[in-house]
């Protein structure tokens, strides 16, 4: 499935380049303000465990998650409930996402946004900036070390943070080599979709304390959040649990007080 998502994303990028060439995209971004505040990273370094709340309509493993999908209203609920940042799925084929979701949410909230798409080309980083993102996702199992370093440096040049996503110790070492300032550990194996939050707990010791450490996937209860907090995890990225909740504000409050 991972390979399918990557290949489909590459096709999508090539189509986008035909509509808006990279040089034109760069010209548009050049008119934007670029600062070095890195609001996404800053938000995750606040006291306590931070919650990155995900706006997600579907996933490859679960299919359709939210049939009634008022993405702007969901994002507003997350912000009002005290989420530190919001993750927005923009991949259309496997996650039923859209770039429009990100740009419209960016117009309506003030907390930092992660463009949750599998970056496979520098074009997508320029896109993310233009769409209003504060951060992007770089997946170690998708990119080689040269690509990781190149894309990480470009993100920082554009004032974007980058979650460098890993799944095991070898991938964490690669993330550290390229100078990742934010490392995410995906508790979901992207090959077979099994989930275990102990993956984050076991790998926390591999990452130095000055790097922001995020646990992703499979976090469902306040007890999960408490365990991760007790093991020095800085932030959690939560999608399905929140999307399936009828009262997202109360759910975030419960998780934050775990």
HSE of 45, CA atoms in CB hemisphere, 13 A: 14
CATH dotted code for 2-28+53-256: 3.20.20.70
CA angle 22, 27, 28 (to 5 degrees): 100
pLDDT per residue over 217-233, tens digit each? 999 999 999 999 999 99
Active site (catalytic) residues: 54, 56, 116, 165, 186, 216-217
Do the bridges between strand 85-89 and strand 113-116 make them parallel or antiparallel, or are there none, so unpaired?
Answer: parallel
Cβ atoms 78, 86 nearer than 8 A: yes
pLDDT at position 190 over 70: no
Per-residue pLDDT band at 47 (split at 50, 70, 90): confident
In whole angstroms, give the CA distance from residue 232 to residue 229.
Answer: 5
Instruction: Specify burial of residue 144 (Cβ count, 10 A radius: 0-12, 13-18, 19+).
Output: exposed
Integer angstrom CA distances of residue 99 from 21, 37, 106, 133: 17, 24, 11, 10
Q: Which of 40-44, 63-67, 73-77, 129-133 has the weakest average pLDDT? A: 63-67
Q: What is the DSSP letter of 43?
A: H
pLDDT tens-digit map of 87-122: 999 999 999 999 999 999 999 999 999 999 999 999
161: its two tokens: 């943070």
If one counts every other C-beta atom within 10 angstroms of the C-beta of residue 225, the result is: 23
Please write down the long-range contacts of 98-107, taking CB distance under 8 Å and 24 or more positions apart.
Answer: 99/127, 99/131, 101/55, 101/71, 102/128, 102/131, 102/132, 102/133, 103/131, 103/132, 104/71, 104/72, 105/55, 105/71, 105/72, 105/75, 105/132, 106/131, 106/132, 106/133, 107/132
Rounded distance between C-alpha atoms, residue 160 and residue 155, angstroms: 5
């Amino acid at each position: 499935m991972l390979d399918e998502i990557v290949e489909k994303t590459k096709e999508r990028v090539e189509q986008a380049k035909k509509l808006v060439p990279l040089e034109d995209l760069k010209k548009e971004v050049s008119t934007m303000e670029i600062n070095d505040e890195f609001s996404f990273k800053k938000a995750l370094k606040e006291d306590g465990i931070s919650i990155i709340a995900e706006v997600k309509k579907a996933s490859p493993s679960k299919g359709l998650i939210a049939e009634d999908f008022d993405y702007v209203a969901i994002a507003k609920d997350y912000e009002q409930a005290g989420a530190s940042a919001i993750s927005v799925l923009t991949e259309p084929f496997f996650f039923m996402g859209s770039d429009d979701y990100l740009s419209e949410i960016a117009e309506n909230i003030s907390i930092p946004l992660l463009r949750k798409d599998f970056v496979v080309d520098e074009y997508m980083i320029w896109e993310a900036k233009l769409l209003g993102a504060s951060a992007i996702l770089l997946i170690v199992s998708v990119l080689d070390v040269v690509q990781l370093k190149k894309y990480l440096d470009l993100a920082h040049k554009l004032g974007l943070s980058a979650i460098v996503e890993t799944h095991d110790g070898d991938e964490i070492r690669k993330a550290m080599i390229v100078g990742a300032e934010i490392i995410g550990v995906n508790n979901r194996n992207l090959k077979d979709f099994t989930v275990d939050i102990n993956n984050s707990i076991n790998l926390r010791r591999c990452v130095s304390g000055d790097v922001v450490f995020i646990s992703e996937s499979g976090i469902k209860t306040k007890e999960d959040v408490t365990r991760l907090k007790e093991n020095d995890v800085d932030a959690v990225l939560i999608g399905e649990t929140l999307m399936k909740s009828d009262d997202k504000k109360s759910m975030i409050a419960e998780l934050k007080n775990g």
